[in-house]
Amino acid sequence: MLRPDIIDLREFYANPLGRAVRRLLRPKLRAFWPDVHGLTVLGLGYATPYLRIFEGEAERVIAAMPGPQGVVRWPRGLPGRVMLVDEDDLPLPDASVDRLLLMHALENSENTRALLREVWRVLTPQGRLLAVVPNRRGLWAHIEATPFGQGHPYTPPQLTRLMRDAMFSPTQSQAALWLPPSDRAFVIRAVNAWEKTGEILWSRFSGVLLVEAEKQVYAAAPVKAVKQKQRAFVLNPASPARSFRKRDGSGPASA
């Protein structure tokens, strides 16, 4: 599977089209999670362009980037809060994350079941997952020049079924990104008009799907314990993984 690397992702969000996408998606993500006071928010994949909307409110905001993708320092000018990880073996304790954003992650995973089982493991019993994936019916999924044209796109029923099979219950969903995948100036200038028109006239053909799901605790089988081996390279001496404490307050949890 062709997976965008860290250079491609960083360059996309640095150009006008990527900045427009970020402006469009940030409010929609925030609408899913309007209150994150005192919560731990984790972005898995390449979520850093969107995590700032939770800073200053959440207790902790960190990013995890899969090894095949690569990693960059984040946030700029501040102590690093990003980990390079195996997506099916996150160096975090059980039930340590309250909100988990999957961005440029699920569609690029070589083993979605293992990825979602790890997400299930690290989420608290009241935890919420928010997945942003390319819409198979939309134009963006068929244009390889952007990160949304890489990996495996989904239809809404496919994404819902995937979540349920991984012991998540979808709670709400939304479509977004009717803006054409073009960096032409006239397209970028009319970004809001494209979104409003697309939502009315072409609702099934959005660029991305956003699905929130909650953890099904009652349906779960016992989950594995956190492996006692270090798999993360953290771009900061103070590892975000090591800063986690067990939910019962009994002390630091091993990464």
Share of the chain above pLDDT 90, in %: 78
57: burial class by Cβ within 10 Å (0-12, 13-18, 19+)?
A: middle
In this prediction, residue 214 carries a pLDDT of 96
Instruction: Give pLDDT, residue 213.
Output: 97
Write out the two tokens for 93.
Answer: 């304790």
What is the chain's mean pLDDT, rounded? 87
State the burial class of residue 7 (Cβ atoms within 10 Å of its Cβ: 0-12, 13-18, 19+). Answer: exposed
Given this model, what pLDDT does residue 227 score? Answer: 45
Q: What is the pLDDT of residue 111?
A: 94
Confidence class for position 10, pLDDT limits 50, 70, 90: very high
**Mean pLDDT over residues 190-216, rounded?**
94
CA distance 54 to 30: 8
pTM (two decimals): 0.86
Q: What is the pLDDT of residues 47-64, one digit of tens each?
A: 999 999 999 999 999 999
User: For the chain, how many residues are written?
Assistant: 255
Q: CA 166 to CA 123: how far, in whole Å?
A: 13
CB–CB of 45/105 below 8 Å? yes
Reported as a single tens digit per residue, the pLDDT across 210-254 is 999 999 887 555 445 444 444 443 444 344 444 454 444 444 343
Once rounded to an integer, what is the mean pLDDT over residues 77-91?
91
Q: Stretch 87-115: mean pLDDT, rounded?
A: 96
Per-position b or e across 129-154, b if 16+ CB within 10 A of its CB: bbbbbbbbbbbbbeeeebbbbbbbbb
Structural domains of the chain, with CATH: 6-234 (3.40.50.150)
Angle at which helix 156-165 crosses helix 112-122, to 10 degrees, equals 60
State the CB neighbour count (10 A cutoff) for residue 178: 25
